[in-house]
Structure 1
Amino acid sequence: MTKQYSGNRSFCGLSRRSVLQSTAAFLSVPFVVEATSAWAQEKLAGAGEVVVLSWGGSYTDGIRRYVYEPFTKATGIRVVDVVTDLAEPQIKAMHQAGRVDWDIAYVSPANYPAMHESEMFVPIDYGLWDQESLEGASASTRLKDAVVAEQSGMVLAYDTRAFPNGGPRNWGDFWDVKKYPGPRGLFGSNGKVNIEFALIAAGVAHSDVFPLTDDKVDRAFEKLNEIKPHIAKWWVAGGEAPQLLINREYAMTSIYDGRAVAAVQQGTPIKFTWEGANMGVMYGVILKGGPNTANAQKLIAFWNRAQIAAGRTQGTGYPGPNINQVKYLPHDLASLVSINPENASKVVFSDDSWLVAKRPDGKTNADHIQERWIAWRAA
């Protein structure tokens, strides 16, 4: 994971950069990765540079510190990061012009199929990966010409001051305004995530949420009608949700997982649950025709190494797919992040192939759902 699944955004909220900036500031000192450095010196040594898309702000600061600098030190390959918000339009333009200036970029699952069919990406050389990386990243995260780079979600968080004896544990509790009174918040721009939460609150099993068929969407909006009067504010910017909890303007709300983890690490009076969280991913790809393809293969192999993956999670707040990183994370962080198997077992991953599929009227399922959401919000 798109935020509105409109084909030009990522994950499940605002612009990618706005989600990620300021979420890495809470993270700890650089990781010690002697074993990985020695492995990289032996297996990935090279020269020159590799040009990589980045999102700017604290995200770029964190990934430089935990991934790029160790990579350069171990391999001799310099990393040049290019900051942008929406990668896909620029990738398409470079492809059409026949001049590709980047080596590695991130693309959303919504945009990936068409770009894959247009042969914009180079197959990933999994032969460069070590065994721990291959075993830790499931086959579903390792496509022929793309690999899950990181994942992000939306969770349920609450103000511990409002519920000193324990707050809501799931979306059913979010809808229970008698047992858990107080003003609520939900993300206003995206209908899909709220439809998922409403279905779970209505008793739909996680495994049955997708596909979001018309009858399920009808059921979701009936449930949303119940909670709508209790929404104090539909938040839009990623920083609003935690701030409104801290200000006591919300008793509970949906919130980006990175923001929630940061809030807990900073000692704010916020707790959150992974039960029924929405999860999406971003793919890392190597651009066909890029200037440094061999170095790009080496960097992707490096950052999926378990120790480096743990460092990347520490530096950015958003985990990659290698579950073996958990044993290298500080315990207090490992218990909070989505890559932890206990947390991962509670989430609902977006079915991106269904969302981008066309309906009889030519609209995608995602666009149809979003149109219904906008109409409902306006009513």
Structure 2
Amino acid sequence: MNVEDFDFELPEELIAQTPLPDRTASRLLVLDRKTGQTEDRHFVSIIEELQAGDCLVLNDTRVLPARLYGVKKDTGASIEILLLKQLENNEWETLVKPAKRVKEGSVIEFGDGRLTAVCTGEAEHGGRILKMSYEGIFHEVLDELGEMPLPPYIKETLPDQERYQTVFAKNRGSAAAPTAGLHFTKELLEKIEEKGVHIAYITLHVGLGTFRPVSVENIEEHEMHAEFYQMSAGTARLLQSVRESGGRIFAVGTTSARTLETIMKEHNQFQEASGWTSIFIYPGYEVRGFDGLLTNFHLPKSTLVMLVSAFATKEFVLNAYNHAVEQRYRFFSFGDAMLIK
């Protein structure tokens, strides 16, 4: 299967640069994955698409202020880093720009020495392993010196950093937000629960896979970057109960979808689990962990478009995307949403 099969025309002006003041004010394109029919709605109408006994699965990861700007101690050269994954002994896997300036032994200082990083080696995909030195609590230092790692296609600044967090974000560790969850407010979630819909939480810390384009022609040759996931025993019991009682499971975002599929693939049922997943879902894959998917509109030729196409067929998804372009939907992280049922 060729990566070009997942391309589509996207006018640059449809890439949302700023979030809407009201999280729930986004539009919602509803796609019937059995017929390919689409319906234009508003996000608040998602409550009408859910039934008592259904379950929404939300990713409660919290985005780190993972972008840091520093200088090389020996030359004073400006260095930008993005924290991707915490390793042991205060080491982090990072993306560095410009990477060619940072070799093993290089020392980078941030915040006038408040934080110091020493390069201890190269990571896969051209990244660097950096060992951090600081006084106090690392996350407090990061809150002071770091910036929210907005995707590169967003050129505008974000005055309210919390707007790139979901209202249910809890477990710190992501390099990017699970953006399908950005549309929910606490009030809307309460109304959904009042209807008898269950809310379940999983965790998947978004890493390099979000930033990495598919660089091979044959998508079967693409390798996903491993990301940490976790499902509690309580969530597993709830999902098993929903399945047994005939309710539908809706994955909110591709991160929730990948977590559910990882657990079903490894255990053949929902159960307490944690670890690292590099699951790559594309057409031909049989989805077993969810019955519906809420997701934003993704980049052309991305692994996320491929995942959505595995669930609803490439033809239906690309037709829906072309409809979204014609109807001037807003795309990507701060854009509108699509519900596939």
TM-score band, normalised by shorter chain: under 0.3
The structure that is helix-richer by fraction is: 1
TM-score when scaled to structure 2? 0.26
